[in-house]
C-alpha cells in the first residue's frame, strides 16, 4: 500500500479525514513551495484541513495544538502524504506565553523562519449564554482567541515585517453576536475580540509586505454530533434551515475543501488584505462582520470549481484603511 493510502486509512479512523487532492479546486501542487506556515489548532477538523492543504500545495507546516496525541498523528500523516520533514508538531497551549515562545523557537530551529501564521485554535465548547455562564468561561474564550492570537502575532510578525513577506490569518466566526439558535455568546465574544485585533493589525502592517485577513470557515468540518455541546434549554433547530448548517448537521463543507479555500486565499493575500472572507455564502445572512447591513458589503463572490465551495468577500468594516 502506498504511503498516501496508508496515511489516508489511518486518518479516517483517528483524525476523521479523507485523502486530500486540491486539483479539483483549480489549485496546483507547488504553489506554496518555499513558504513556512504555523497553524494553531491544526490537529483537528478545520485546522487539520488547513495544515494538510498547505502541505499539499508545497509549504512546510508547523502544527501547534494542545492535543498531543492528535498533533503527533497529524505530523506523521502530513509527512506520509507529502515528504519527510514537511510537518512539525509542537504541543502548544496558545494561551501560554512560554508555549508560544517555544513554538516559535522550534519552528525557527526546524525551518529557519515563518511566513504564514494561521490563528485557528479555539475551544468550541465555550458555548454558553451571558446570563448563566461562569465568567471564567469568558476569560478562557478571550485567552484562546484574543490572548493566543496576540501572543502568536508578537512572536511571528516582526520577522515577517523584517523580510517584507508574510501573511496572518484568523479563523473568525460568522456570528458577530450570538443568535438564539446557537447559544454561544461566550464563544462569539472571544472571536469578536480577536477579529478586532486582526483589523487593527491590518492597519499596523500596511505597506510592510505583510497581509492580514480573516477567513471564516462557516459550516466547515466533520463533526461527531455526540461530542457536540447541547443546545441551550428551550432552543430548537428550525426544520427549514437547509443551508445554514450547524455542528452535527448535514451539509458541512469537508475540511479538505476548507483547506482549498485557505490556499486560494493565501495565493491572493495581497488583494484580500484587511478583508473578512466567509467560506460558504449561506452565511451571508448572518451579516458578518457587523450586524448593521449597511456596514457589510459583498464586494466580490467567487466560486472555485467545486460547486460546494463558495466564498464571499466582505469588508472588514470601519477602521481598516487600504
Ligand X SMILES: NC(=O)c1ccc[n+]([C@@H]2O[C@H](COP(=O)([O-])OP(=O)(O)OC[C@H]3O[C@@H](n4cnc5c(N)ncnc54)[C@H](O)[C@@H]3O)[C@@H](O)[C@H]2O)c1
Closest CA to 277 of 173, 162, 124, 159: 173
Q: Is 290 a catalytic residue?
A: no
Pick out residues in 185-204 that bind ligand X (CB under 6 A): 191
- Of residues 176 and 191, the one with the C-beta less far from ligand X: 191
- Of residues 44 and 58, the one with the C-beta less far from ligand X: 44
Annotated catalytic residue within 142, 170, 187, 264: 187
Q: Least Å distance between CB 206 and ligand X? A: 25
- Of residues 68 and 180, the one with the C-beta less far from ligand X: 68
Instruction: Please select the residue that binds ligand X; options are 57, 61, 65, 201, rule is CB under 6 A.
Output: 65
For residues 66 and 41, what is the distance between their CA atoms, to the nearest angstrom? 7
Cell numbers linked to 131: 446570563
For residues 209 and 299, what is the distance between their CA atoms, to the nearest angstrom? 23
CA distances from 238 to 111, 181, 251 (A): 49, 9, 15
Q: Is 281 in the site for ligand X (CB under 6 A)?
A: no
Q: Is 43 in the site for ligand X (CB under 6 A)?
A: yes
Give residue for cell 465574544: 189
Q: Least Å distance between CB 15 and ligand X? A: 10
Q: β-strands 275-279, 310-315: how paired?
A: antiparallel
Q: Is 93 in the site for ligand X (CB under 6 A)?
A: yes
CA atoms within 13 Å, Cβ hemisphere of 145: 26
Applying CB under 6 A, the span of 52-60, 63-71, 127-135, 229-237 interacting with ligand X comes to: 63-71
In which order are the strands placed within the sheet that holds 166-170?
A: 87-91, 60-65, 36-40, 116-119, 166-170, 210-216, 275-279, 310-315, 298-303
Size of the site for ligand X (CB under 6 A): 29
Closest CA to 320 of 211, 230, 244: 211
- Of residues 58 and 137, the one with the C-beta less far from ligand X: 137
Pick out residues in 235-274 that bind ligand X (CB under 6 A): none
Q: Is 216 in the site for ligand X (CB under 6 A)?
A: yes
For ligand X, the nearest residue by Cβ is 41
- Of residues 58 and 169, the one with the C-beta less far from ligand X: 169
Q: What does the DSSP 8-state code read for residue 312?
A: E
**Active-site residue set:** 187
Residue numbers of the site for ligand X (CB under 6 A)? Answer: 40-41, 43-47, 65-67, 92-95, 120-124, 144, 171, 173, 191, 216-221
Amino acid at each position: 500500500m502506498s504511503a498516501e493510502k496508508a496515511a489516508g486509512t489511518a486518518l479516517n479512523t483517528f483524525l476523521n479525514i479523507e485523502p486530500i487532492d486540491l486539483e479539483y479546486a483549480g489549485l496546483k501542487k507547488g504553489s506554496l513551495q518555499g513558504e513556512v506556515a504555523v497553524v494553531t489548532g491544526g490537529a483537528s477538523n478545520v485546522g487539520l484541513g488547513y495544515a494538510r492543504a498547505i502541505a499539499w500545495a508545497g509549504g512546510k507546516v508547523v502544527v501547534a495544538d494542545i492535543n498531543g496525541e492528535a498533533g503527533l498523528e497529524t505530523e506523521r500523516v502530513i509527512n506520509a502524504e507529502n515528504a519527510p520533514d514537511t510537518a512539525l508538531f509542537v504541543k502548544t497551549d496558545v494561551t501560554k506565553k512560554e508555549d508560544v515562545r517555544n513554538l516559535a523557537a522550534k519552528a525557527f530551529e526546524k525551518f529557519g523562519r515563518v511566513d504564514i501564521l494561521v490563528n485557528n485554535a479555539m475551544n468550541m465548547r465555550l458555548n454558553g449564554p451571558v446570563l448563566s455562564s461562569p465568567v471564567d468561561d469568558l476569560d478562557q474564550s478571550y485567552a484562546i482567541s484574543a490572548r493566543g492570537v496576540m501572543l502568536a502575532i508578537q512572536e511571528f510578525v516582526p520577522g515577517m515585517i523584517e523580510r517584507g513577506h508574510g501573511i496572518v490569518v484568523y479563523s473568525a466566526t460568522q456570528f458577530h453576536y450570538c443568535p438564539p439558535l446557537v447559544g454561544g455568546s461566550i464563544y462569539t465574544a472571544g472571536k469578536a475580540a480577536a477579529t478586532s485585533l486582526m483589523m487593527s493589525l491590518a492597519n499596523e502592517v500596511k505597506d510592510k509586505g505583510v497581509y492580514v485577513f480573516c477567513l471564516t470557515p462557516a459550516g466547515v468540518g466533520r463533526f461527531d454530533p455526540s461530542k457536540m455541546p447541547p443546545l441551550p434549554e428551550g432552543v430548537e433547530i428550525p426544520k427549514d434551515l437547509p443551508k445554514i448548517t450547524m455542528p452535527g448537521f448535514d451539509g458541512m463543507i469537508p475540511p479538505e475543501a476548507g483547506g482549498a479555500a485557505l490556499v486560494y486565499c493565501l495565493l491572493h493575500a495581497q488583494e484580500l488584505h484587511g478583508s473578512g472572507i466567509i467560506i460558504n455564502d449561506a452565511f451571508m445572512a448572518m451579516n458578518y462582520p457587523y450586524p448593521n447591513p449597511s456596514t457589510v458589503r459583498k464586494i466580490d463572490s467567487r466560486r472555485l470549481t467545486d460547486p460546494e465551495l463558495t466564498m464571499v468577500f466582505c469588508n472588514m468594516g470601519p477602521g481598516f484603511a487600504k
